[in-house]
Amino acid sequence: QVQLVESGGGLVQSGGSLRLSCAASGSISSTNSMGWYRQAPGKQRELVGSITTGDFTMYAESVKGRFTISSISRDKAKNTVTLQMNRLKPEDTAVYFCNIKIGNFAGYELDYWGQGTQVTVSS
C-alpha cells in the first residue's frame, strides 16, 4: 500500500506564489520518481514537474523558470516532494495531483496518485 498526502494550494493573485507538498508513505522503497501533474477543466492531465531518486528533474515548458520541484528522503519508508510555484499566472489554475512511480519485481512501473489540491490564480 502507498499513501500520498498533499498539502498547500489555494487562491492567489496573479504574480503570487504557492507551495505544494506531498508526503509519501508505505511500500515506497522502489520509488523511481515523484512529481506533480495538473488538470484544468476540460483539459487532459499534464505533467508539471517531476524528480527522480537521482535528482533528475523535468518540467513542462510552460512552468520552466517559475516552478521548482525538490524532494526530501528521510528514510526508506517516507519521501516528500515539494513544488514551489512563483510568478503564478491565471492559466496555472487547475487541480494539482501528486504522483509517485514505483518499480516492481516484474520490471513494470506503477503509478499512485494523491487526491488532488485546487490551485486558483486570479487575474
39-84 pLDDT per residue, tens? 999 999 999 999 988 889 999 999 999 999 998 776 555 589 999 9
Provide the pLDDT for residue 54. Answer: 85
Query: Chain centroid to CA 103: how far?
Result: 18
Integer Cα distance of 3 and 44 in angstroms:
24
Mean of the pLDDT values across residues 84-110? Answer: 94
What is the largest distance, in Å, between two alpha-carbon atoms of the chain?
48
13-46 pLDDT per residue, tens? 999 999 999 999 998 888 889 999 999 999 999 9
Provide the pLDDT for residue 73. Answer: 75
Integer Cα distance of 68 and 8 in angstroms:
15
Residues 95/107, Cβ–Cβ less than 8 Å: no
Provide the pLDDT for residue 78. Answer: 57
